[in-house]
């Protein structure tokens, strides 16, 4: 692990722990704990209604998807291991999806707003560890 690269896009941070072009190594994906204010944009209002966000939208979930957000291609195949401290979901992603594999971060009680980022095509597995103590604490490691 000789070089640490940091990529920032759409509010989702991707930390690459290895720069070797053939072997992706482990990649840590970090969804923001709260949806950034600049991620929400509103257009023209209707009949004088004005939007307002009274509280931050907190991270509620994360999962890889089989394509960009408009495909709504949630992956149904994963294994879950429950521990005393939380839950570990493992997604096997081989072979790669035609439209790429994306990470989805869901915000609000019912994932009313989501952020999406395309993952490197060499990634074959993602492990998401969720804490019972804090649902916004989701550790995502892909390789």
pLDDT along the chain (143 residues), means of 10: 38 48 84 84 80 86 96 94 96 87 95 94 96 91 97
What pLDDT sits at residue 130? 96
Q: Which residues, including other chains, have CB under 8 Å from residue 56's CB and lie 6 or more apart?
A: 34, 35
What pLDDT sits at residue 26? 95
111 by DSSP, 3-state: which? coil
What pLDDT sits at residue 56? 87
pTM: 0.78
What pLDDT sits at residue 61? 96
What pLDDT sits at residue 136? 85
**Separation of alpha carbons 103 and 44, rounded Å:** 30
DSSP letter (8 states) at residue 10 = T
């Amino acid at each position: 692990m000789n070089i640490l690269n940091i990529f920032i896009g759409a509010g989702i941070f991707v930390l690459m722990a290895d720069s070797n072009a053939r072997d992706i190594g482990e990649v840590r994906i970090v969804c923001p704990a709260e949806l950034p204010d600049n991620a929400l944009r509103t257009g023209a209002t209707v009949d004088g209604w004005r939007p307002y966000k009274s509280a931050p939208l907190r991270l509620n979930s994360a999962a890889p998807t089989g394509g960009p957000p408009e495909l709504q291609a949630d992956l149904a195949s994963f294994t879950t291991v429950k521990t005393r401290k939380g839950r570990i979901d493992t997604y096997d992603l081989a072979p790669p999806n035609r439209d790429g594999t994306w990470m989805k971060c869901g915000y609000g009680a019912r994932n009313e707003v989501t952020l999406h980022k395309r993952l490197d095509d060499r990634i074959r597995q993602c492990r998401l560890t969720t804490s019972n103590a804090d649902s916004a604490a989701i550790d995502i490691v892909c390789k």
